[in-house]
C-alpha cells in the first residue's frame, strides 16, 4: 500500500526524553511504563512498551526516543498510553528503540 506525503504528514512524530521508567509486572507481556518529556509545547506523556529484552527501567532514564504524539490515548491494562514510542525489531523480533544520534531539542518534529 502506498500513501501520499500528505498522509505521512498527519503523523506527528516528535523527540522526547524518558524522565521516568518503571517495571510493569501487571502487563500480559513483559513491559516497562514510561514517562517521556516532549518539551514545553507537548509536555510529559505516558506510555507502555514491550522492551524488556534490551532495556531496564534504570537504563532508559535520560534516553532520547521518537514517538507518535497525535494518536488518541489508549488503555493498556492499567496504564493509559498517551504516545506510541517507536522501535524496530531485532533479528529475534525484540524491539530496539529509535532515537536521534545527537542531542536535539525536546519536541522536535520528524520531517
pLDDT of residue 76: 87
Strands 44-49 and 79-81: unpaired
- Domains, the chain: 11-97 (2.40.50.140)
The reported pLDDT for the residue numbered 68 is 98
pLDDT digits (tens, 9 = 90+) for 18-74: 999 999 988 888 999 999 999 999 999 999 999 999 999 999 999 999 999 999 999
Query: So what's the pLDDT on residue 27?
Result: 85
Q: Is 5 in contact with 11 (CB distance < 8 Å)? A: no
Confidence (pLDDT) at 18: 98
Q: Quickly state the pLDDT bin for 111 (edges 50, 70, 90).
A: confident
pLDDT category at 97 given cuts 50, 70, 90 is very high
Residue 93 has pLDDT above 90, yes or no: yes
Amino acid at each position: 500500500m502506498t500513501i501520499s506525503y500528505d498522509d505521512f504528514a498527519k503523523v506527528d512524530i516528535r523527540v522526547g526524553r524518558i524522565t521516568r521508567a518503571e517495571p510493569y509486572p501487571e502487563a500480559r507481556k513483559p513491559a516497562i511504563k514510561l514517562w517521556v518529556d516532549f518539551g514545553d509545547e507537548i509536555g510529559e506523556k505516558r506510555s507502555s512498551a514491550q522492551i524488556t529484552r534490551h532495556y531496564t527501567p534504570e537504563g532508559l532514564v535520560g534516553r532520547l526516543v521518537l514517538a507518535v504524539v497525535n494518536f488518541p490515548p489508549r488503555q493498556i491494562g492499567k496504564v493509559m498510553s498517551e504516545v506510541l514510542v517507536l522501535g524496530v525489531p531485532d533479528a529475534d523480533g525484540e524491539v530496539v528503540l529509535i532515537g536521534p544520534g545527537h542531542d536535539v531539542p525536546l519536541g522536535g518534529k520528524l520531517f
